[in-house]
């Protein structure tokens, strides 16, 4: 039986990666956690940090990361292993919207969970991050 995809989204510092990891570990069945940021950060030289501004290169690197995550997720789900993916999906910004995930994953069904914590929680979580990982 094929696995399924759970896509967890929310603003920066909402806890997407933390929740996705916990969800994948808590499942009674086989489940993998794929963090889009982890795939983006595989670029060691020439990485474009989108926090410093969005441009064609940031979009290109995001597209590559999304495509790679989708390929890995497809292999897992074909093997009966479900996947939890975490990514910041913007509903009103097509280049980083849900439709891009739907196209990348093709026929694989996606369940979407949005984490929307209080502003104070986001600020506290961001402050607790390593300086290099903080949102300016």
Position 1 pLDDT exceeds 70: no
State residue 52's pLDDT score. Answer: 86
Position 135 pLDDT exceeds 80: no
- When the pLDDT of each residue in the chain is averaged and rounded to a whole number, the result is 90
Residue whose entry in the numeric block shows the structure tokens 């913007």? 90
Residue whose entry in the numeric block shows the structure tokens 């300016």? 136
Task: Give 128's DSSP letter.
Answer: H
This prediction's pTM: 0.88
CA 113 to chain centre: 11
pLDDT, tens digit, for every residue of 27-39?
A: 778 999 999 999 9
Domains and CATH numbers, the chain: 5-133 (3.40.50.300)
């Amino acid at each position: 039986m094929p696995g399924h995809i759970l896509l967890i989204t929310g603003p920066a510092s909402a806890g997407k990666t933390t929740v996705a990891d916990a969800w994948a570990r808590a499942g009674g069945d086989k489940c993998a956690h794929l963090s889009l940021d982890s795939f983006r950060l595989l670029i060691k030289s020439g990485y474009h940090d989108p926090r410093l501004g969005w441009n064609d290169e940031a979009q290109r690197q995001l597209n590559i990361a999304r495509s790679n995550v989708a390929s890995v997720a497809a292999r897992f789900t074909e093997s009966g292993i479900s996947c939890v993916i975490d990514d910041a999906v913007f509903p009103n910004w097509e280049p980083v919207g849900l439709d891009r995930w739907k196209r990348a994953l093709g026929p694989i069904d996606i369940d979407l969970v949005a984490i929307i914590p209080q502003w104070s929680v986001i600020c506290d979580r961001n402050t607790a991050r390593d300086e290099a990982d903080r949102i300016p």
